[in-house]
Structure 1
């Protein structure tokens, strides 16, 4: 009994160590042996065989194509070709025929030098003649077709040129870019795509081999979509010339081998299903079943040990946390052992007791703080509009414009009446919009020749929404002060209402200069700050008040208006009356 008591008082870490030592040792030996055997087999098959075969094959193909290119360059220096290019305009027809016949024989001999050459074509500009080994009845070769291949050299790769599903090697005398001088000659070797594909097919029957670059691909693949997926995931950065990868595509595992040739500006990709390569590991199936059976027994025993040591006290502690989360602070969780869980339970009981004592004071303090901050933000509205309104009224009286003076004095009275009514912190949205209209009517008189205002109607079913006072007028005031302050003519201000997903957006937009992207980001950053130092007015004032009232998903958002200036969205919930 004393031994079990001492073990019960041990910390969880020693308990877990003892449990793992007793249970996991047999699994360690079995896993190590199986893993080492598998690694040895895979390394031997992949690294030593596949990689070497791919490198050897690609090196052979690269040398063969480079030999074709070298022979082509030698052909350029042929005396008959040089004579025909340089003296073609002064040679007799008989001399031209002799030279063309000689070149035709040489081209046919050149074509037979490699199985990868399909046809060779030569165009000499001085005699305007095409010499080709192709069957012109089936595939006519013209100057225009050769020039098209020549132009493709600048967009579809070099030295291998891809044009109209055919692969070429092109040589011509250099001509300065932008020069109107015609190319003196063009010597084009068309590579046999069928021969290349046959060679690629014979590399490994269990996989797919593709020769490609950015513009074309030739290979044994019958699933282009699969090739593109593997290509995008296997191709390394420009610093590496080869790569081996194991990847999963369309719920299947593949082994992929990639090698790039800088001289050909092309790469070779070979991929095959992983189960084809790892087939030899099936000989260890008996060991695998033994591992599964052993693992099952180990998991059962280990799970029971974890349940006894960790899960049961944790489940009890989680239950107590849920009770506290539901508002029940009359919980107690004694624990007799002196391990880490005993410490957690004792600290939990202490924490619940402290929360129970402090919750009332903390809650009341937070409410008071928010109320004080709201009052402070409401008091920071800029009163400069009052002075301008009286000056406007004075000017109208001096000009005997009684109708406009009456309109200004009426709206000014309603304006003062609204902002000096301190009995309520919240008002109906209808009253708030009416106050904003009074402000706009006054400004319309002042800026009648500069700013055109479009004030949409508030839908009747939204009249009773309860909102903080003075959330619309400060945004409109911001437009007159900043958005349209420098607008001499054709200023536009538009106020509209938009309902979506249980939210009301009051859109205030103008055609002023707006804000630069950096200024817009700075304004959004200031609006999203949890606390603002110093005074906060206008957009930030309203945004902060709305978030204090309704939560973080409401407030003011800013963007560029379709009118060209700034768009401010005042976002509030579409709830009515006392539902807030």
Structure 2
């Protein structure tokens, strides 16, 4: 024993400080948590058992109160019908006098029907009916009125006669729905004999008041607060009037003797059903032969306590592990900081440069972290500089390409052609050279990519003028743009390719027409500008129009490339939510809509 103790002490003494601290934390964390869990479980499980029975008590008593109210409501309704003088008068009519008096019988039927309907509502009395003598013409209605002669041959009638109670109850059965097209409705019925007020031994009719089975079932189901328990209503013959869970009822299988062996009151009683133990409570419902019973398995109460115990053990383990993990993090803070720095370096290796390691310490690792952050920022600056240099090189290449077209040389040449045309009296050539000079002046725009909308429209007018000289004034251009938009900015050379498509692939394809119209409209929608180029040419299939922006038109790749180029430029400049939208149908022309922001 001493040797073992020395060995353990030696191992503990030779351990690293971090290991010693972790063992100490383990003892200081888990032992107090285990003691606290044990004490808490004992108290909580005891209180939980009391709480379940208390909640079951409240739900049981509340359901009992509701059922008593429903029963009394039906009995009071039967009282009103029973003591109604008109009912007595109509049910005691002399057969010999009124058997053939269908007018009076029909009046009686209407008055009785109106009287019975006044009791009906969904929650309390679903239907009020009367069993009347069979000789009455409305005895076979089978809705508010039924044939008492036929009913007298049934077992229910014999049981009603044998009963000495004020009313009798029929457990679940079905009656026809108010709407004859629907399925029969399950109900529970109150039956009451109507005696002749002058000869009390004579039964002149029977009252039947029906309440929906669903209403009773809903009350009973709310009374059951357990998963494996059951609440049910059983009559004196053992028939089940309502049950909260038939599956649980058949599994428990309580017998009629069980009810008789229990006290009718507010206390819970222990009972053994089969091989299982239960807590039972019952109460007899007044003015009925019904008994309301609830049975809760003891195993369920103990199961809930066991779940609480397991939950507390899990919480103890979670709290203990979190505390132990926190202690581990504290002792390994230095290692964690190095691992974090290593992880960030791996991200930089993979090309992720927007990383930063936060450090508030000023030790060696803190200095190393600051140096790492400075290095990453420097690399980021160099990458941005390289990107900007590359972008500037591309812009210079574009400028060089544009510069190959010498504007002054081009304008002077076109001006020379203009004067030569005037000297030689060829006005068409003069108009072409002037329009072409205006077209290229607006196209080049001194190298600027952004122009005003009015300049872009003037550019289109020059282009259309040149095309009209080529195609014998076959194109008519209409511009309907709000003046407030004239000075708004737009990427240059956006409209011209679209107008060119409208001329070549729309208007000129309609060979049976002398003239085509291109309409350019523009308006503001919230913070956006909408420009539309519409022609009345041959049009195309909607799938072809969509293909222009997707994969291009298989029949005209140049047209598709130009459209996609415009759409791509707009999205690059303004964002993915902007661009072109095509609408077209064969024979009705094509419209392309341009959406750009109003900046």
**Pairwise TM-score range, normalised by the shorter structure:** 0.3 to 0.5
